[in-house]
Structure 1
Amino acid sequence: MVVLERTGTRAYPFADITQLATTLGQTLAVINCWCPDVARDRLDADHRGHPHPAGSRTFSLYQQLEQSADPITVPALRLRTDTAADEPLDVALGYLEQLDTLRSEAAAR
């Protein structure tokens, strides 16, 4: 299992982790988490109360980066995380179980 905590706005990290998964003989499982309202609240609060060293770190920049992001070209679960605490976990675990089942079926052939 490889956990990569990045914004994922560019294609090269996905190429790197795809290569790593292949080298390790592992199934690549990408879970693209997003929470627009929480991101806005956090960024706005940071901007108002505790200036971040990157002064341009605003919700407007977040939106610009999201709109200009390279598309994710590998299979991925897009998971909204601003829901009930157990819901994203249940969805993510279900996705991982599904991938594991598919991998086992492919290996059996």
Structure 2
Amino acid sequence: MRRIAPPGTPVEMAIVGARAAGCTPADGEPEVIMKANVGDRLILEGTHVGEPRRAGVITGVRHHDGAPPYTVRWLDSGHEALVFPGPDARVEPPTASATGAVQHGGAR
């Protein structure tokens, strides 16, 4: 039996890029739609070996239901761009640290 990821998880949002490109899910596959709010973080995984992960803060959502595209301010450059996220993207809720750094548990 195939397990379907809970709503809002990165796995649940992986099909968004294909949907934005006009593709439809295969028979029996659930259709998943990415949702975001202003202040959420958009994370793009590198698609090629050695390509770094990119993180940005969503500063604009064009649709009332939170669907893409999004206006994103990239944390590495400060540049703002209109982004149509692909299958390598995920949305994370805002964190206490908006630096884009990976947070590790434990006190120092």
Alignment TM-score, normalising by the size of structure 1: 0.25
Higher relative contact order (CA 8 A, sep 6+): 1
> Which of structures 1 and 2 has the bigger CA Rg?
1
Hey, which of these two has a bigger chunk of helix by percent? 1
Structure (1 or 2) with the greater strand fraction: 2
